[in-house]
Amino acid sequence: MSELEILLVDDDEMLAEMVAELLRRKGYEVWTAGNGLDGYASYRLHQAETVVTDIDMPELDGFEMVRCIRAINPLVRTIYTSGAPERYRETLTTETKTFGAAVLRKPFTEIDLLKLIPSSIRENVKLESPSYDWLTDRNKRLWKQAV
């Protein structure tokens, strides 16, 4: 059984290494990059099935990087992370509806991330892609899993 390959792109080096280590312990093969340009270069080499990316980064932001990656693989699974996803509401809504992308608000939990990464090597995780809607109450999480 082969490992699921994940590209993790975040300019917060400490966070990226912590998340990468978590994913490796769960059996994933993980590559990391510190900005969108390096993330795109890494994707060209490894072509991971899933890209987990911060949005606001130097060189190329997460959206620009994913647009470049989709020129290689239009079906790449994408998980966007941000401390302020409401700033990108319109683009994220399009991403989730058009491409099935998921969004995680930073800080996120291990369980929140693992639920969004389907793999036959893990147990107790649904394989279908979750869909998300905006919550209007700003005191609650911005995204909720649609029923």
- Show me where the domains of the chain are located: 5-145
C-alpha distances out from residue 116 to 107, 113, 132, Å: 15, 5, 11
Residue 60 CA neighbour count, 13 Å, CB half: 17
pLDDT, residue 63, reads 98
Q: Are 57 and 31 in contact (CB under 8 A)?
A: no
pLDDT surpasses 80 at 147: no
Residue 103 CA neighbour count, 13 Å, CB half: 32
pLDDT, residue 16, reads 96
> How would residue 107 be classed by pLDDT, with cut points 50, 70 and 90?
very high
By CB atoms closer than 10 A (0-12, 13-18, 19+), residue 115 is middle
pLDDT, residue 119, reads 56
pLDDT surpasses 80 at 35: yes
Average the pLDDT over each of 43-47, 70-74, 77-81, 123-127 and give the range with the smallest value.
123-127
Computed over every residue of the chain, the mean pLDDT equals 84
Please state at what angle helix 36-46 crosses helix 62-72, rounded to 10 degrees: 20
Give the domain 5-145 fold. Rossmann fold (3.40.50)
pLDDT surpasses 50 at 56: yes
In sequence order, the 6+-apart residues with CB closer than 8 A to the CB of 33 are 7, 8, 9, 39, 41, 42
Look up the pTM and report it: 0.80
pLDDT surpasses 70 at 34: yes
